[in-house]
A and B are shown apart, each in its own frame.
Chain A
Amino acid sequence: MEILSKIFEYPFVLRAVITGVLLCCCAALLGVNLVLKRYSMLGDGLSHVSFGAAAIALAFGFAPLQFSIPIVIIAAFLLLRINGNGKIKGDAAISIVSTSALAIGITVANLTTGMNTDISNYMFGSILALGTEDVVYSVIISVLVIALYIMFYNKIFAVSFDEKFAASSGINVKFYNGLSAVLTAVTVVVGMRIMGALLISSIITFPVLSAMRVTKKYRSTVILSVIISVVAFLIGIILSFSFDIPAGAAVVLTNLAIFIILNCFS
């Protein structure tokens, strides 16, 4: 308890907790469908693109969030398109795009600002780097994701469970896939600052996989993913603060521990 009251004395920690909890909800909700539709790597690919964009923004003095969001959204659509009908198959395409974006980011950073703390923060995440702007963005994106998820819940289930059948019953499958890609893109960009580009995709996949060890129903998978995601984040932040390790790494390790424990029990 003592450590909790200590943690919340600092405004930057409060910002990190609000931003993180909201983003974890979004990531878990979006993650259920990405994992089940075998698009888990999309989050990973987009986070690398997001890093590349942020490095360019830093080098040229643009606002990183505003610059990265449209670029990552475009990348998300490209990756979905390639996944759908391209000559290069999904996983290979994501690997090409993500490593190229990472390479561009590192090259630009080295040639201009150098590999400074800002760059390192984008790679590995930091709770110190969060500003009010990040909080505002995370509130907007989470309200959007949660509202859209509840509004379209039945259609999202149908599209994830059986895309062809959903199409035959008149659901616009492309719209829902596109929507999910856009929301994932924004979540990744906003979450990158706190979790790190290299680690952000873990909060999309881990909670869902953990939840799937315990339950075999869709609705309970969704709810449990969100709970696991938020709990793992909060434990991660406490660990990060107590042992002075980066928040992203602490959250991923907590998720890993939860996953292993649930695997042993199921």
Chain B
Amino acid sequence: MPIISIDKLSSYYDNRQVFSELSFDVEDGDYICITGENGSGKTTLMQCILGFDIKYKGSIIFNGFSRRDIGWLPQKSDTKSDFPASVSEVIFSGFAGKSVLGIAYSSAQKEKAYKNMALLEVEDLKDKSFNELSGGQQQKVLLCRALCAAQKVILLDEPVNSLDAASQNEFYSLLKKINNSGITVIMISHDIERAVKEAHKILNISNNGFTFKKAECYLEDEYKTEGNYGNTI
């Protein structure tokens, strides 16, 4: 049974339709890349899934978990450059939505946080100031926060955009590790070539419709389309 079923989803942004009748299923353990041109509604789709205040028609059904249990790595983080926060404070804030009253986090939450820190290799940073980290390190810390918030699924919105090539490679290999540990990964990406290499499935949205297929099929089909296109000229 799919863990997220999206059926005939249409959404509007500024009264303009961004995508229509989008249907696809997310299976447990999937690694899905969402691609498409600017303005095709990739981020809007993610916001619909997260339950933000977005107008949409159609249905999004979660099986076995709630949308609050999704870990999210936003495209542009809302954080201020002078905010005094240590890395561990930032990571633990992934639990804030679920934490009971008070200052302390539960021992289960602590255990999960340290496990995630080890997985993402950010343990050494935990007492550092978040704002004094490099862009790549900050992104890893925010990924760790998303993992703490996540039960099964993480959503990432163009996470490697602002990173240099070396940090991008490191980030992709961490995502693979996360996915191998059983977490479902859904990522928006501009870089289709890389997406095809990394992900299991590709959801491509355009203003005319959408395609949802296995990554290896995507490559073949793209090749065919390109071939056909060449022939007609």
Pair B84/A166 contact, Cβ less than 8 Å: no
Tell me which residues across on chain A come within 8 A of B105, comparing CB atoms. Answer: 154
Binding stretch for chain B, among A115-123, A215-223, A238-246: A215-223
Task: Please tell me if A8 contacts chain B, counting CB pairs below 8 Å.
Answer: no
Q: In the assembled complex, how far is the CB of residue B92 from the closest CB belonging to chain A, in whole angstroms?
A: 8
Task: Please tell me if A161 contacts chain B, counting CB pairs below 8 Å.
Answer: yes
Task: Please tell me if B68 contacts chain A, counting CB pairs below 8 Å.
Answer: yes
Task: Please tell me if A171 contacts chain B, counting CB pairs below 8 Å.
Answer: yes
Task: Please tell me if A264 contacts chain B, counting CB pairs below 8 Å.
Answer: no
What is the bound-complex CA distance between A48 and B78, given in angstroms? 30
Pair B103/A158 contact, Cβ less than 8 Å: no
What's the tally of chain B residues with a CB closer than 8 Å to chain A? Answer: 35
Task: Please tell me if B97 contacts chain A, counting CB pairs below 8 Å.
Answer: yes
**Interchain Cβ contacts within 8 Å, total number:** 98
The residues in B between 100 and 156 inclusive whose CB is less than 8 angstroms from any CB of A are 101-103, 105, 129, 131-132, 145, 149
Q: In the assembled complex, how far is the CB of residue A147 from the closest CB belonging to chain B, in whole angstroms?
A: 10
Report the interface size class on chain A: 20 to 34
Tell me which residues across on chain B come within 8 A of A216, comparing CB atoms. Answer: 84-86, 129, 131-132
Q: In the assembled complex, how far is the CB of residue B223 from the closest CB belonging to chain A, in whole angstroms?
A: 37
Pair A167/B96 contact, Cβ less than 8 Å: no
Q: Which of A153, A171, A218 contacts B102 (CB 8 A)?
A: A153
Q: In the assembled complex, how far is the CB of residue B60 from the closest CB belonging to chain A, in whole angstroms?
A: 14
Pair A161/B90 contact, Cβ less than 8 Å: yes
What is the bound-complex CA distance between A140 and B218, given in angstroms? 65
The listed residue with most A CB atoms (<10 A of its CB), out of B50, B68, B96, is B96
Task: Please tell me if B98 contacts chain A, counting CB pairs below 8 Å.
Answer: yes
Q: In the assembled complex, how far is the CB of residue B146 from the closest CB belonging to chain A, in whole angstroms?
A: 8
Pair A167/B102 contact, Cβ less than 8 Å: no
Given the known interface contacts A151-B102, A154-B96, A162-B79, the answer about A218 and B89 at a Cβ–Cβ threshold of 8 Å is yes
Q: In the assembled complex, how far is the CB of residue B34 from the closest CB belonging to chain A, in whole angstroms?
A: 17
Tell me which residues across on chain B come within 8 A of A158, comparing CB atoms. Answer: 93, 96-97
Pair A155/B74 contact, Cβ less than 8 Å: no
Q: Mark B63-89, 1 if CB is under 8 A from A, else 0.
A: 000001010101001111011111001
Pair A212/B97 contact, Cβ less than 8 Å: no
The residues in A between 65 and 119 inclusive whose CB is less than 8 angstroms from any CB of B are none
What is the bound-complex CA distance between A36 and B78, given in angstroms? 12
Task: Please tell me if A150 contacts chain B, counting CB pairs below 8 Å.
Answer: yes
What is the bound-complex CA distance between A211 and B82, given in angstroms? 12
Given the known interface contacts A151-B102, A216-B129, A221-B84, the answer about A168 and B93 at a Cβ–Cβ threshold of 8 Å is no
Pair B96/A171 contact, Cβ less than 8 Å: yes
Task: Please tell me if B95 contacts chain A, counting CB pairs below 8 Å.
Answer: yes
Given the known interface contacts A216-B129, A219-B89, the answer about A155 and B96 at a Cβ–Cβ threshold of 8 Å is yes
Pair B97/A170 contact, Cβ less than 8 Å: yes
What is the bound-complex CA distance between A101 and B74, given in angstroms? 40
Pair B89/A168 contact, Cβ less than 8 Å: no
Q: In the assembled complex, how far is the CB of residue B61 from the closest CB belonging to chain A, in whole angstroms?
A: 18
Pair B95/A154 contact, Cβ less than 8 Å: yes
Tell me which residues across on chain A come within 8 A of B82, comparing CB atoms. Answer: 36, 212
Pair B93/A217 contact, Cβ less than 8 Å: no
Pair B103/A153 contact, Cβ less than 8 Å: yes
What is the bound-complex CA distance between A163 and B181, given in angstroms? 29
Task: Please tell me if B99 contacts chain A, counting CB pairs below 8 Å.
Answer: yes
What is the bound-complex CA distance between A94 and B70, given in angstroms? 37
Q: In the assembled complex, how far is the CB of residue B75 from the closest CB belonging to chain A, in whole angstroms?
A: 10
What is the bound-complex CA distance between A193 and B151, given in angstroms? 51
A residues lining the B interface (CB < 8 Å): 36, 38, 150-155, 157-158, 160-171, 211-212, 215-221
A-B contact pairs, 23 of them (CB 8 A): A36-B83, A36-B84, A38-B80, A150-B103, A151-B101, A153-B103, A154-B93, A154-B95, A157-B85, A161-B83, A162-B79, A164-B74, A167-B52, A169-B96, A170-B97, A170-B98, A212-B84, A215-B84, A216-B132, A217-B89, A217-B129, A219-B89, A221-B84
